[in-house]
């Protein structure tokens, strides 16, 4: 360009992408014996849900057979599953909790 108008340059950056860790769904499974109140307590205690949210998810598991109760990085999901399984076992309930890659 030899006239007075200056070219406008726009800087476009491409962010170097940091690999994001895979996420894991933690699932609660229905059974015929674990008391509803116990499941609600589990959801409140280990998943930080309030009472209303816990009742809602418990009823979803009861009706549908299972539900996702949270999504976490591997280590956190693993810890939640272990905590739930241990708490259920100590209270002699057959409640099952598992995880799967999202």
The residues that touch ligand TYC, with contacts defined as CB under 6 A, are 28-32, 34-36, 39, 58, 61-62, 95
Contact 29, 76 (CB under 8 A): no
**What are residue 72's phi and psi, to 5 degrees?**
-145, 165
CB of 78 to ligand TYC, least distance (A): 19
48: DSSP letter: -
CB of 38 to ligand TYC, least distance (A): 8
Indicate the residue among 30 and 76 with the shorter CB distance to ligand TYC: 30
Q: How many whole angstroms separate alpha carbon 19 and alpha carbon 48? A: 28
Contact 36, 97 (CB under 8 A): no
CB of 37 to ligand TYC, least distance (A): 9
Indicate the residue among 60 and 78 with the shorter CB distance to ligand TYC: 60
Q: Which two tokens stand for residue 8?
A: 């406008």
Indicate the residue among 3 and 32 with the shorter CB distance to ligand TYC: 32
């Amino acid at each position: 360009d030899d006239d007075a108008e200056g070219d406008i340059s726009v800087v476009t950056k491409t962010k170097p992408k940091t690999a994001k860790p895979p996420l894991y769904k933690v699932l609660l499974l229905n059974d015929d014996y674990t008391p509803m109140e116990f499941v609600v307590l589990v959801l409140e205690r280990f998943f930080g849900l309030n009472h209303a949210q816990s009742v809602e998810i418990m009823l979803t598991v009861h009706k549908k057979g299972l539900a996702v109760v949270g999504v976490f990085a591997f280590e956190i999901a693993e810890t939640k599953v272990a905590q739930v399984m241990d708490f259920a076992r100590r209270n002699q309930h057959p409640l099952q909790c598992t995880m799967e890659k999202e």
